[in-house]
Amino acid sequence: MNKLRVYEYAKQQNVPSKDVINKLKEMNIEVNNHMTALEDSAVKKLNESYKPKEEKKPNAGQKQAADIQPKPSSTLEKYQAEADENTGSVKKTEKIQKKTVAKPVIGKKTAQESQKKESKVFKGNNNNNNNNRNRNNRNNKQRPQQRSSAPVPKRKEKELPSKITFTESLTVAELAKKLHREPSEIIKKLFMLGVMATINQSLEKDAIELVAGEYNVEVEEEILVDITDLEALVTNDDEANLIERPSVVTIMGHVDHGKTTLLDSIRNTKVTEGEAGGITQHIGAYQVAVNDKKITFLDTPGHAAFTTMRARGAKVTDITILVVAADDGVMPQTIEAINHAKAAEVPIIVAVNKMDKPAANPDRVMQELTEHGLVPESWGGDTIFAPISAKTGEGIDSLLEMILLVGEVEEYKANPNRKAVGTVIEAQLDKGRGSVATLLVQNGNLKVGDPIVVGNSFGRVRAMVNDLGRRVKEAGPSTPVEITGLNEVPQAGDRFIVFEDEKTARQVGEARAQIQLASQRSEKSRVTLDTLFEQMQQGEMKELNIILKADVQGSAEALAASLQKIEVEGAKIKIIHNGVGAITESDIILATASNAIVIGFNVRPDVNAKRAAESENVDVRLHRIIYKVIEEIEAAMKGMLDPEFEEKIIGQAEVRTTFKVSKVGTIAGSYVTDGKITRDSGIRLIRQGVVIFEGEIDALKRFKDDVKEVAQNYECGITIKNFNDIKEGDVVEAFVMEEVERK
Ligand SMILES: Nc1nc2c(ncn2[C@@H]2O[C@H](COP(=O)(O)OP(=O)(O)OP(=O)(O)O)[C@@H](O)[C@H]2O)c(=O)[nH]1
């Protein structure tokens, strides 16, 4: 259950968070800020300290006491406070509580959830009821008086229904109609319950129940379940039905450190061992047997596949093997891989590879990884390091045992006796077989003939082939299988779920395809600096994830350090990746997966990264001055982001050749590859993704003529004001400052 946070408690009490923080400090309970979660004991103590005010006037008229108390903020609390005064409604509420049944349309989970929610809603009332039992009697006596002060006009009334139903909410007018009463009467009832409402005001569940309770009418909430939301359709398993399942392992590491060799070597030595004559087939994943247990390996090495899946919401990997060549040590992609695994909160086992090489230096690898938070067990840390040679096979057995060990500790479990759910590992269109997809069954049992929805495609599992190329009839948890029978080709990372019948599967699949079409690229609620403050205020954002790319290590570190120092109440900054060089597609994918903002310091996104950032709506901020970055982020976090101008890149030209002309300087013979270059635009000279110079155009020419602008696919000559170090292959980026309206 979620713990109450300080600000939530303060809201309940209708006091400032600061007040609560001070109280907690007086009680010697440590709190950092208003976001701190409160232990139950702390809540109890706080309740004690806020309570006496109410109980000081046991003899005062209830109404008066209530009048001078701060009005509780939520409607529910209003009702509870009123219930304190008005026992009649408490009693009746209780009745309703017993009668109310949440009716799920589809899916157990929702029913359970709604029941849970309900009991939460009424918990307060029950407490009130217990605490106030003594007062109830007194209130009962007062009740007729209150009634007489607001007499309900007698008129011929239609009979009350015994039960009413609603979905989500009802307006006063709708509720009145359902109860066969005049809206004015309902408004009056609400007024008596302490709620001022107008005829068109919409009432939440608890208000509807209270009003209906006044009439002794049963309330039933109909819960609509979106059947196109696959995740919502996945029901939870009883702990008792879960049994151990094989771990799913991904191998990551720097180029040429031996990922593929390791995957091949494990497969060759282990897969065939138990399965004589089996010919391995690359289906994107394979399973090996070690000490009577199985391990599943995803066959696509590298973090791109790993993170692409995560960006699509799929959590497939249980354990990451980080391969580091002992003769090469930690390299940029090693660090990227660490950050990807950390962002996904997946345990890492380090395989120190190429131990057979004379230049192997495992100590150096350990030393370097320690700097990145991976401290070997032998040095007092908790990261497993396994020295191996993927080439000779040495150490692989113990690496596999380590994987089993981590699996045992983490206790990966699944229920093999339910309909299967899982994720697409890879998929393609085969000329002969149609849509072919490798699925990783993550829970349940997938069978031939099962009606299935996979991402936005659907069908019936026609044939299933395992990693040994054998036809199988069923596949349990953590098993990869290749299936045919889908109407379309799904995408890697898509979720799949098995349905009871083909008709529903078809309906859901078709509806999903429709929705996807409609919402394609429409709106994605990625965090942007413009919306950051709003999201922080709504409590959606407690940590601002940042990916930092800079031209040199020094500035990356300096910037990271300064960013981490920014202190704004309610949120902090987390640098999830920090590297040198141009912003790449991999950075954007990581940003998508982690809902992060990308900051480029003196570097630019490459073409693929730019495209990915646009399509995924990732906020990429490019800067050249450290304090500007700090200022911008700080302002965004404080909700004061207010630049009236925004830079707009209007085009790019590639320098194809250079001419040196005395008195004029270097002329860049360029070709406009994208957009246009205008005479009055600002320019940046970019060399291999790094900004070399920023300034203005001195002259822009087509042949011998000065021109105002040069469009895409045209050649031109550019000279830059006060700058001559232009080289072939450089890119000239043109930008203008545009006034923008803040949302
Ligand atoms: N001596 C030795 N060579 C190895 C070992 N493991 C891999 N190699 C060699 O290192 C080179 C790169 O290995 P790969 O397995 O292709 O590396 P990779 O990490 O998959 O590389 P990419 O797919 O390019 O990222 C190959 O020439 C392998 O033969 C090892 O344990 N010992």
Q: What is the pLDDT of residues 617-673, one digit of tens each?
A: 888 999 888 888 888 888 877 765 545 567 789 999 999 999 998 888 899 999 999
Residue ranges of the alpha helices (H) in 56-107?
Answer: 62-68, 75-85, 87-99
The Cα 177–Cα 193 span in angstroms is: 20
pLDDT exceeds cutoff 70 at 507 = yes
563, 633 Cβ separation under 8 angstroms: yes
CA–centroid distance, residue 473 to ligand 1 (Å)? 36
HSE-CB for 286 with a 13 A CA cutoff: 27
Q: Return the residue whose CA atom lies nearest to atom 8 of ligand 1.
A: 258
CA–centroid distance, residue 399 to ligand 1 (Å)? 17
- The most confident of 173-177, 203-207, 537-541, 644-648, by mean pLDDT: 173-177
529: DSSP letter: H
Among 456, 503, 447, which residue's Cα sits nearest to residue 479? 447
Among 270, 567, 601, 558, which residue's Cα sits nearest to residue 404? 270
Top pLDDT among 364 and 44 is at 364
CB-based contacts of 127: which residues, under 8 Å, 6+ apart?
Answer: none
Q: Return the residue whose CA atom lies nearest to atom 13 of ligand 1.
A: 258
Atom of ligand 1 nearest to the CA of 255: 25
Question: Dihedral of CA 224/229/231/234: which sign?
Answer: positive
pLDDT exceeds cutoff 60 at 444 = yes
CB-based contacts of 668: which residues, under 8 Å, 6+ apart?
Answer: 653, 655, 658, 717, 718, 719, 720, 726, 730, 732
Residues with CB under 6 A from ligand 1: 253, 255-261, 301, 353-354, 356-357, 389-391
pLDDT at 453: 94
689, 713 Cβ separation under 8 angstroms: no
* Residue of 254, 256, 328, 357 to mutate, ligand 1, most atoms within 8 A of C-beta: 256
CA–centroid distance, residue 260 to ligand 1 (Å)? 7
CA–centroid distance, residue 274 to ligand 1 (Å)? 26
Distance (Å) of CA 194 to CA 128, 188, 219, 259, 558? 17, 10, 21, 67, 57
pLDDT 10s digits, 9-40: 887 887 877 788 888 888 888 777 766 788 88
Q: Return the residue whose CA atom lies nearest to atom 11 of ligand 1.
A: 256
Q: What kind of fold does domain 241-414 have according to CATH?
A: Rossmann fold (3.40.50)
Distance of alpha carbon 47 from its chain centroid, rounded? 34
CATH of 421-522, one of 2.40.30.10, 1.20.120.450, 3.40.50.880, 3.60.40.10: 2.40.30.10
pLDDT exceeds cutoff 70 at 72 = no
CA–centroid distance, residue 357 to ligand 1 (Å)? 12
Q: Where are the beta strands (DSSP E) in 109-190?
A: 163-166, 170-171
Confidence of residue 125 (pLDDT cuts 50, 70, 90): very low
Confidence of residue 541 (pLDDT cuts 50, 70, 90): low
pLDDT exceeds cutoff 90 at 417 = yes
Among 65, 77, 68, 58, which residue's Cα sits nearest to residue 194? 77
Atom of ligand 1 nearest to the CA of 388: 31
Q: Would the annotation count 299 as a binding residue?
A: yes
pLDDT at 37: 80
Q: Would the annotation count 137 as a binding residue?
A: no
pLDDT exceeds cutoff 60 at 694 = yes
* Residue of 251, 255, 260, 388 to mutate, ligand 1, most atoms within 8 A of C-beta: 260
pLDDT at 330: 94
Q: What kind of fold does domain 538-640 have according to CATH?
A: Rossmann fold (3.40.50)
Confidence of residue 74 (pLDDT cuts 50, 70, 90): very low
The Cα 125–Cα 76 span in angstroms is: 10
The Cα 681–Cα 712 span in angstroms is: 15
CA–centroid distance, residue 390 to ligand 1 (Å)? 8
686, 733 Cβ separation under 8 angstroms: yes
CA–centroid distance, residue 88 to ligand 1 (Å)? 78
Atom of ligand 1 nearest to the CA of 323: 19
Q: Return the residue whose CA atom lies nearest to atom 25 of ligand 1.
A: 255
Q: Return the residue whose CA atom lies nearest to atom 30 of ligand 1.
A: 354
CA–centroid distance, residue 606 to ligand 1 (Å)? 28
pLDDT exceeds cutoff 60 at 110 = no
641, 615 Cβ separation under 8 angstroms: no
pLDDT exceeds cutoff 60 at 122 = no
Q: Return the residue whose CA atom lies nearest to atom 32 of ligand 1.
A: 354
Q: Which amino acid is at 491?
A: Q
Q: Would the annotation count 84 as a binding residue?
A: no
Residue ranges per structural domain of the chain: 6-49, 163-221, 241-414, 421-522, 538-640, 644-740
Atom of ligand 1 nearest to the CA of 355: 31
pLDDT 10s digits, 204-253: 888 898 899 888 899 988 776 677 777 777 778 888 889 999 999 999 99
In this prediction the pTM is 0.52
Residue ranges of the alpha helices (H) in 569-624?
Answer: 585-594, 607-616
Residue 537: count other Cβ atoms within 10 Å of its Cβ.
12
CB-based contacts of 610: which residues, under 8 Å, 6+ apart?
Answer: none
Q: What kind of fold does domain 163-221 have according to CATH?
A: Arc Repressor Mutant, subunit A (1.10.10)
CATH of the domain spanning 644-740: 2.40.30.10
pLDDT exceeds cutoff 80 at 527 = no
Average pLDDT, the chain: 79
Residue-level length of the chain: 743
Q: Residue 733's beta-bridge partner residues?
A: 652, 684
pLDDT exceeds cutoff 70 at 168 = yes
pLDDT 10s digits, 702-738: 988 899 999 999 999 999 998 999 999 999 999 988 8
Top pLDDT among 26 and 396 is at 396
HSE-CB for 450 with a 13 A CA cutoff: 23
User: Do the domains spanning 421-522 and 538-640 agree at the CATH topology level?
Assistant: no
CA–centroid distance, residue 318 to ligand 1 (Å)? 24
Atom of ligand 1 nearest to the CA of 392: 31
Q: Where are the beta strands (DSSP E) in 204-292?
A: 218-223, 243-244, 247-253, 285-290
CB-based contacts of 1: which residues, under 8 Å, 6+ apart?
Answer: none
Q: Residue range 351-365: average pLDDT?
A: 95
Atom of ligand 1 nearest to the CA of 357: 1
Q: Would the annotation count 354 as a binding residue?
A: yes
CA–centroid distance, residue 341 to ligand 1 (Å)? 21
Confidence of residue 167 (pLDDT cuts 50, 70, 90): confident
Confidence of residue 191 (pLDDT cuts 50, 70, 90): confident
Question: Dihedral of CA 528/533/538/542: which sign?
Answer: positive
Strand pairing of 543-550 and 596-601? parallel
Q: Where are the beta strands (DSSP E) in 315-469?
A: 319-325, 348-353, 384-387, 413-414, 421-430, 434-443, 446-447, 451-454, 457-465
